[in-house]
Amino acid sequence: MDDVHDITSQGTPDPDELIATARAMIPDLRARAAQCEAERRIPEETIQTLHSSGLFKVLKPQQYGGYQMGWDLFGE
């Protein structure tokens, strides 16, 4: 996934940057949709992409290494 980069090493990202990162993932997620359905689970590549993108940290409290952002951002 060339458009998605590891933003987790840059401190707390800007919410707009997280949204842009998530949107950049859409083509790859769509490409893996059939695999996801066939395997009845999320492909490991998708999990790794979500980790490296920092999206798993959006709701996590800062004291545990997260960004401690709101549900509104996570939903968007």
How far is Cα 49 from Cα 55, in angstroms, rounded to an integer? 9
Q: What is the DSSP letter of 10?
A: G
Looking at 2-70, list the stretches that DSSP marks H as alpha helix, in order from N- to C-terminal side: 15-31, 33-39, 44-53
Would you give per-residue pLDDT tens digits along the chain (76 residues)? Answer: 444 555 545 688 999 999 999 999 999 999 999 999 999 999 999 999 999 999 999 999 999 999 999 999 999 8
